[in-house]
Amino acid sequence: MDSSSSKELVKICLSICESCAAECEKHAEHGMEHCRKCAEACRKCADACRKLVA
């Protein structure tokens, strides 16, 4: 796999993680602790992806 393909895959992962985090944060606002933890994990994943594509 070439570097441009890898970069595109990481960008897709970033988008998915951001979307997941946003949805989980909505549920976390209603007191669902497991959703807060999921949102936090998704944000960390998105941050890692952002660093890779920078």
Domain count for the chain? 1
**pLDDT value, residue 6:** 93
Domain that holds residue 25: 3-53
**pLDDT value, residue 13:** 98
Q: What is the pLDDT of residues 2-53, one digit of tens each?
A: 888 999 999 999 999 999 999 999 999 999 999 999 999 999 999 999 999 9
**pLDDT value, residue 49:** 98
**pLDDT value, residue 2:** 80
User: No. of H helices and E strands in the chain?
Assistant: 2, 0
Query: What pTM was estimated for this model as a whole?
Result: 0.87
| Polymer length in residues for the chain | 54
Asked whether the beta carbons of 21 and 43 are under 8 A apart, the reply is: yes
Asked whether the beta carbons of 44 and 5 are under 8 A apart, the reply is: no
